């Protein structure tokens, strides 16, 4: 997951609190925080704050997507408990650690399959800990679980980072390293919503100047905040209108390099919270709203990256500031989507994502020429992405 503190410090917390309140979600103590220290991105985090004009439009969506995928990955409803006691579960977890420790290396496909098995085991062990009343009064099983979990993650990191990796390999590990049953469940859920998102492409763009496009966007968000989102119908209308406005904004991406998006970012975050709050009714469950918003974010991340790639390919780079913003926006889909998010992509979107991964080295070379960056520093980004991903499983 991307640096949540950097993307959106408060919004993810609001969404998490709201969904937990309405669904009484019990997040296991073993789940590590998805919010990473800003220092985790030494070559980019420092630039994000000063160049947040473009990525800001995506921050609210990223927060919702991150939390929705977090709840999907740690939901105990989907876990398959196999252990009668916490002691039995922790013993099995230790055995898995021992198996991984004895592996000197693994082929990439085998490593991904092993990571998927680890996640299934983790969920089963966690379910056993939660069922065992002993863990309510004694910290030992839980503390042991966390210690073993950290060790397993470190071993998978050792295997994954044994040699240089590509952006495509990062995506492959994320996708194939997600349990197959979970991927299939998420795919089936997303298929039900795909017709809605496909219909958005039929809505024409506004023929505005860059300034008019932003003003129209801002007015729409202000009106939404004033009038609210009362039900599913208004929720879907919001997504339709926002999508058209966002795509109209993307048409002017190069011209808006020096324009602050702070106001629109803040209003978008608040509107997305309203969108979630419109759910929680028998006819519109919170989970359905979150799935819509997750797919909305997937769509925006890919649309944004595609627009950046097109501008880079056509030589529409006007300044180092624009190049820095484009660099971050190209990284966002690769960093922001985990295996759960990828499972909710359409086949065409998945093709776009892997195409982005394949074209990243050439695009980064061109951006580094504009920025004056040392290209070798950014060659390590796939390794950093893998490290972040494995640390947050």
pLDDT score recorded for residue 63 = 47
Answer for the pair 342, 335: CB distance below 8 angstroms, yes or no: no
Compute how many other C-beta atoms are within 10 angstroms of the C-beta atom of residue 27: 13
Q: Is the pLDDT of residue 49 over 60?
A: no
- What are the structure tokens assigned to 232, written together? 């599913």
Reported as a pLDDT band with limits 50, 70 and 90, residue 84 is: confident
Mean pLDDT in residue range 157-177: 97
Least confidently predicted of 11-15, 160-164, 384-388: 11-15
Angle between helix 347-371 and helix 286-313 axes, rounded to 10 deg: 50
Share the mean pLDDT of the chain: 82
Reported as a pLDDT band with limits 50, 70 and 90, residue 4 is: very low
Q: What is the pLDDT of residues 321-374, one digit of tens each?
A: 899 999 999 999 999 899 999 999 999 999 999 999 999 999 999 999 999 888
Return the DSSP state at 284. B
Reported as a pLDDT band with limits 50, 70 and 90, residue 83 is: confident
Q: Is 281 helix (H, G, I), strand (E, B) or coil?
A: strand
Separation between Cα atoms, residue 114 and residue 157, nearest integer Å: 12
Q: Is the pTM of this model over 0.75?
A: yes
Mean pLDDT in residue range 34-42: 35
Q: How many CA atoms lie within 13 A of 245 on its CB side?
A: 20
Residue 223, class by beta-carbon neighbours within 10 Å (0-12 exposed, 13-18 middle, 19+ buried)? exposed
Q: Which long-range contacts (CB under 8 A, 24 or more apart) does 344-350 make?
A: 344/186, 344/187, 344/189, 344/190, 344/291, 344/294, 344/295, 344/298, 345/190, 345/298, 346/190, 346/194, 346/197, 349/298, 349/299, 349/302
Q: Is the pLDDT of residue 311 over 70?
A: yes
Mean pLDDT in residue range 186-194: 96
Q: Is the pLDDT of residue 71 over 80?
A: no
pLDDT score recorded for residue 135 = 47
Would you kindly state where each structural domain of the chain is located, as residue ranges? 4-20+39-68+192-375
Mean pLDDT in residue range 16-40: 40
Q: Is the pLDDT of residue 9 over 70?
A: no
Separation between Cα atoms, residue 153 and residue 385, nearest integer Å: 14
**Which is higher by pLDDT, 46 or 22?**
22
Interior angle at CA 69, CA 222 and CA 22, nearest 5: 65
- What are the structure tokens assigned to 17, written together? 């609190």
Residue with the two structure tokens 């990243």: 360
Separation between Cα atoms, residue 92 and residue 102, nearest integer Å: 16
Mean pLDDT in residue range 222-242: 96
Mean pLDDT in residue range 202-210: 96
- State the DSSP string of 294-347: HHHHHHHHHHHHHHHHHHHHTT----HHHHHHHHHHHHHHHHH--HHHHHTS-H
Q: Is the pLDDT of residue 31 over 90?
A: no
How would you classify residue 351: left for phi > 0, otherwise alpha for psi between -120 and 50, otherwise beta?
Answer: alpha
**Which is higher by pLDDT, 56 or 154?**
154
- What are the structure tokens assigned to 261, written together? 């998006």
Mean pLDDT in residue range 37-66: 44
Q: Is the pLDDT of residue 10 over 50?
A: no
């Amino acid at each position: 997951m991307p640096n949540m503190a950097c993307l959106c410090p408060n919004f993810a917390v609001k969404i998490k609190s709201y969904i937990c309140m309405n669904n009484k979600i019990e997040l296991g103590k073993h789940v590590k925080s998805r919010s990473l220290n800003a220092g985790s991105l030494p070559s980019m985090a420092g630039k994000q704050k000063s160049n947040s004009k473009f990525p800001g439009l995506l921050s609210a969506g990223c927060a919702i997507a991150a939390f929705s995928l977090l709840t999907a990955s740690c939901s105990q409803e989907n876990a398959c408990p196999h252990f009668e006691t916490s002691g039995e579960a922790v013993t099995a977890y230790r055995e898995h650690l021992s198996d991984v420790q004895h592996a000197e290396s693994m082929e990439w496909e085998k490593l991904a399959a092993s990571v998927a098995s680890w996640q299934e085991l983790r969920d089963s062990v966690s379910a056993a800990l939660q069922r065992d009343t002993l863990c309510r009064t004694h910290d030992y099983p839980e503390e042991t679980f966390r210690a073993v979990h950290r060790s397993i993650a470190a071993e998978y990191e050792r295997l994954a980072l044994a040699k240089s990796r590509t952006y495509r390999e990062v995506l492959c590990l994320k996708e194939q390293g997600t349990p197959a049953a979970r991927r299939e469940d998420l795919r089936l859920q997303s298929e039900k919503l795909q017709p809605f998102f496909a219909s958005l492409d039929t809505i024409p763009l506004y023929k505005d100047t860059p300034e008019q496009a932003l003003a129209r966007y801002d007015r729409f968000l202000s009106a939404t905040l004033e009038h609210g989102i009362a039900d599913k119908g208004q929720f879907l209308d919001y997504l339709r209108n926002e999508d058209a406005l966002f795509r109209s904004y993307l048409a002017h991406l190069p011209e808006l390099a020096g324009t602050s998006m702070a106001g629109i970012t803040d209003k978008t975050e608040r509107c997305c919270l309203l969108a979630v709050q419109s759910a929680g009714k028998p006819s519109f469950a919170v989970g359905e709203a979150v799935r819509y918003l997750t797919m909305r974010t997937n769509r925006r991340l890919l649309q944004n990256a595609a627009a950046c790639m097109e501008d880079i390919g056509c030589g529409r780079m006007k300044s180092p500031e624009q190049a820095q913003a484009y660099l971050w926006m190209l990284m966002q889909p690769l960093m922001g989507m985990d295996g759960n998010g990828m499972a909710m992509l359409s086949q065409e979107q998945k093709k776009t994502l892997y195409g982005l991964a394949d074209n990243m080295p050439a695009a980064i070379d061109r951006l580094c020429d504009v920025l004056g960056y040392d290209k070798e520093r950014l060659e390590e980004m796939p390794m950093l992405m893998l490290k972040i991903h494995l640390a947050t499983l």
